[in-house]
Amino acid sequence: MMKRHTKLLAALAVGAALAGCAGSAPDKAALTAEQTQLYTAQRADIDVSAVAEGSRGRKVSAEEIKAALESRSNLVKWRGGRTEAVVSIKVTSVNILSAGQSMMLGGESVMLGTVALLDARSGEPIVAPIEISSGGGGYYAGGIIGVMSLEDKNTELEQLAQQFMTRARLALTGPTTTAQTNIQEAKDGKGKV
């Protein structure tokens, strides 16, 4: 009897790890407010080569993942000083929760990757890569209710991209007034930096 419970707990722990968790938003900015004002970041380079096969779980292509992130690139751009910088985004993993995953364990769609800030002229790092994670529509309970409440895969991808780029900006500059304005405008479907 004890062996059976131990095996069940081990299986649940492995399942929870496979289901993934987006974790929390960055709570510390890499740049101070003064440093942020030295740079103008008007370009974001997005690399999805690590997910060339697309997402795990429900399938979304690497091209669709890149397009979703590019459509939100205004969230990581800003105008400051004379030094031109490039925001470098690298996506390392995308799991869009499938009905099977939700039925068995529940979980959350998750995108993992890094954000860095590079000097536009030299390519030298200003801010070394920082790990970023984002979640889709939140945690879905296991079982039939979890399956029934899943968003369609495109909606999940849009939510992942929105949160990933928001967290990337927070990791670089923190919750600056400009960042908050960009985030609100993106949510409202307005303007670009």
Q: What is the pLDDT of residues 134-168, one digit of tens each?
A: 985 544 444 344 433 445 578 888 989 999 999 99
For residue 97, the model assigns a pLDDT of 74
Q: Are 89 and 102 in contact (CB under 8 A)?
A: no
Beta bridge partners of 117: 87, 127
Let me know the angle formed at the C-alpha of 178 by 86 and 117, rounded to the nearest 5 degrees.
20
Q: Which residues lie below 8 Å from residue 138, measured CB to CB, with a gap of 6+?
A: 108
| pTM metric for this prediction | 0.75
According to DSSP, the β-strands at 56-57 and 39-47 are unpaired
Judged against a pLDDT cut of 60, whether residue 177 lies above it is answered with no
Percentage of residues in the chain with pLDDT exceeding 90?
A: 51
Of the pLDDT bands very low, low, confident and very high (cuts 50, 70, 90), residue 29 is very high
For position 188, what pLDDT does the model report?
59
Q: What distances in angstroms separate CA 125 from CA 49, 128, 155, 157, 168, one per listed residue?
A: 20, 6, 33, 29, 15
Please say whether the beta carbons of 168 and 89 come within 8 A.
yes
Model pLDDT, residue 150: 46
> Which H or E element spans position 88?
strand 83-96
Instruction: Please state the rounded mean pLDDT for residues 48-52.
Output: 96
Paired sense of beta strands 125-135 and 110-119, if any: antiparallel
List residues bridging with 47 in a β-sheet. 90
- Residue 121: pLDDT band (50, 70, 90) is very high
Q: How far apart are CA 56 and CA 170, in angstroms?
A: 26
Q: Is the pLDDT score of 185 beyond 60?
A: no
The pLDDT confidence band at residue 176, using thresholds 50, 70 and 90, is low
Q: Tell me, what's the pLDDT at 109? A: 82
